[in-house]
């Protein structure tokens, strides 16, 4: 089900709780909400739709990936300055990002995956993982 985008900064600044297999309905809501906002959106965190669980969705070139409890295993040396927008905020803001990241995450069946991501996809993942920690650009 498509959900309304949360813009309440106090809510968004709260850390998310670990996700479990029982939270798989949130994955469906993230997919539906991403599709409904596809012209302006390439990723979402569950707290952006009012659910404080550590779940993100990232639009890749092939298909969206839903990640339960994503964790950064490694990253490239150094950072670069990025200017990002967010559906929960007005305008854009500057932030620092790694060019590439290695992420451990679980799918909706709680099967463990690892992936290496770079460029724009790595930037989206970092942005959404920050949301789960209550960090807003």
**How many CB atoms neighbour CB 96 within 10 A?**
10
Return d(Cα 119, Cα 103) in angstroms, integer: 14
Asked about 104 being catalytic, the answer comes back as: no
Would you list the DSSP string of 7-54? Answer: --HHHHTSPPBPP-GGGHHHHHHHHHHHHHTTTT-SEEEGGGGT--BS
User: How many angstroms separate the CA atoms of 113 and 90, rounded?
Assistant: 34
Q: 132 CB contacts (<8 Å, ≥6 apart)?
A: 15, 16, 45, 46, 47, 54, 55, 56, 70
> Which of 90, 99, 104, 128 is an active site residue?
128
Give dist(CA 32, CA 2) in Å, integer: 5
Catalytic residue numbers read 128
């Amino acid at each position: 089900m498509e959900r309304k985008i949360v813009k309440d900064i106090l809510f968004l600044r709260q850390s998310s709780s670990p996700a479990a297999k029982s939270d798989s309905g949130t994955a469906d809501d993230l997919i539906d909400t991403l599709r409904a906002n596809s012209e302006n959106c390439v990723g979402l965190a569950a707290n952006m739709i009012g659910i404080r669980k550590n779940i993100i969705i990232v639009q890749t070139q092939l298909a969206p990936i839903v990640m339960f409890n994503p964790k950064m295993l490694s990253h490239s040396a150094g950072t670069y300055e990025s200017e990002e927008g967010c559906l929960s905020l007005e305008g854009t803001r500057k932030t620092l990002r790694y060019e590439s990241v290695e992420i451990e995450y679980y799918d909706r069946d709680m099967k463990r995956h690892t992936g290496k991501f770079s460029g724009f996809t790595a930037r989206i993942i970092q942005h959404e993982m920050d949301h789960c920690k209550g960090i807003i650009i």
